[in-house]
Amino acid sequence: MCGIAGLIHRGKSADIGTEMTAMLQSLKHRGPDSTGFALYGNPTDNQYVMRFKVAEQEDMNKGFDIHRQIAERQKEVDHRLESLGVNVKRRNQATEYSHRYTFSFAGDMRKLADYVEDIDGVEILSIGEALELIKDLGDAAVVSEQYGLAGFEGTHGIGHTRMATESDVDIRSAHPYWAYPFNDVSVVHNGQLTNYWSFRRRMERRGHRFVSDCDSELIAVYIADRIGQGDDLEQAMNRSVDQLDGVFTYLVATSDQLGMAKDVMAAKPMVLYESDEFVGLASEEVAIRSIFPDEIETWDPYHGEVKVWQV
C-alpha cells in the first residue's frame, strides 16, 4: 500500500509545494517510509534544473569518512559538468547529500546524465526545465521542511508516500521516478508489477538504465521507452495497461500534461476531482479534501482507464 496524489492548477501558478505537502501528509497512513514530490515550477528560458544526490541518507551514519567522500563526489560532478561545457548558474544544497543545480546547456542531455551518474554514489533525481524532483525518508512534513518546499510556485505536481514492500527503504527506491533521459517526465505508482523482472530484462537489453530494484521504476522506464519510439503520453499509458501485469494505479507528469492509469482489475484506489480551474487526484479523497475544505464532487475511475489532462 502506497499513497499517490497529483494536482493541476489550470492556466495559473500556485503554491503547489504547500498543497502537495498537505495532500501527502494526509496520506501518511498509506506509507510512512519515504515521501517524494515531483513539482513543476515556472521554467526560465534555456535553463535546466538538476536535482541529484551524492549519497543515501543511511550512508551518513556509516563512519567519519563519508563527509570527505561526498565532498569529493560533488567536486567530481562539478568537474564533469564543466568538461561538458555546462554553465552552472546556481548551486543549492538542501541536505549534505542532495543538491540542486540551475544551469544552461545546449548539448546531449543523455550524455550529461550518463557522465554524471558514472560517478560512484551519484544519482540524478531529475533534469528538466520545469520539473524538480525531491524525495527522502520521512513523512511529507519532514521532507517538505527539510527541502524548503513551502512556497514553491508551480502549475502542477505529483507525489508519493511509500510503504516499501519489494525493495529497500532508501532514496533510490523512493518515488517519484524520473523517466530518464527525458526532461520533465516523472512517475509515481501504487501497486505491484508482477512481470517486473522479465520486463526489466527486456528494457535493459534495449539500453535502459535502472537505478533501483523497485518495480515502480519500470513504469518510468517503460514510458520513456515508448515516448522514445514516438508514442505520445496517452498512447504510451494505454499500451502500458495492456503490457504491464499486476495491480497498479500510477500518475505520470510532463511539463504540460498529467495522466493517470489504472490496471484492468481496478484493484488500486484513485479518486478524482475536476473543475475548470483545478484537477485533483489521490489514493483517498481525504488528500483532496486537505486542500478543499468545501464539499466537492469526486469519483473513482474504472478498470483499465487512462486519462490525460493538459495543464
Partner 1 sequence: MAGVGHKSHGKRHDKSHDMGLHAEQLTGRTQQRFFSAAEEENFTYPWAYDVDFDKTAEFDAEEMDSSAINLKIRELMQSGHGTITVKNPRAKHGVGVGILNRLNLKFEGSLGYFGCGLVDGPNIHISGRVGWSCAENMMAGKVVIDKNAGSTFGAAIRGGDLVCRGDVGSRTGIDQKGGTIIVGGRTGAFSGFMMQRGRMIICGDASKSLGDSMYDGTIYVGGQVEDLGVDCVPGEMNDTELKWLKTKLGMYGIEPACGIENLKKFVSGKQLWNYDNLEPAEKKLVL
**What are the residues binding partner 1 (CB under 8 A)?**
264-267, 269, 271, 284-286, 288-289, 293, 295, 297-300, 302-303
CB of 290 to partner 1, least distance (A): 9
Q: List the helix and strand counts (H, then E) for the chain.
A: 8, 16
Residue 31: count other Cβ atoms within 10 Å of its Cβ. 24
Longest dimension (CA), the chain: 55
Per-position b or e across 201-227, b if 16+ CB within 10 A of its CB:
eebeeeebebbbebbbbbbbbbbbbbb
Instruction: Using the minimum distance from each CB to partner 1, give the nearer residue, 32 or 41.
Output: 32
Task: Choose, from 1, 2, 135, 301, the residue flagged as catalytic.
Answer: 2
Instruction: Using the minimum distance from each CB to partner 1, give the nearer residue, 207 or 293.
Output: 293
Instruction: Using the minimum distance from each CB to partner 1, give the nearer residue, 240 or 283.
Output: 283
CB of 39 to partner 1, least distance (A): 24
CA dihedral 33, 37, 38, 39 (to 10 degrees): 180
Closest CA to 203 of 184, 229, 185, 183: 229
Q: First-to-last CA distance in the chain?
A: 28
Q: Who contacts 145 (Cβ-Cβ below 8 Å, separation ≥6)?
A: none
CB of 268 to partner 1, least distance (A): 10
Cis, bond preceding 32 (omega within 30 deg of 0): no
Instruction: Using the minimum distance from each CB to partner 1, give the nearer residue, 86 or 282.
Output: 282
Active site residue 214: no
CB of 280 to partner 1, least distance (A): 12
Residues designated catalytic: 2
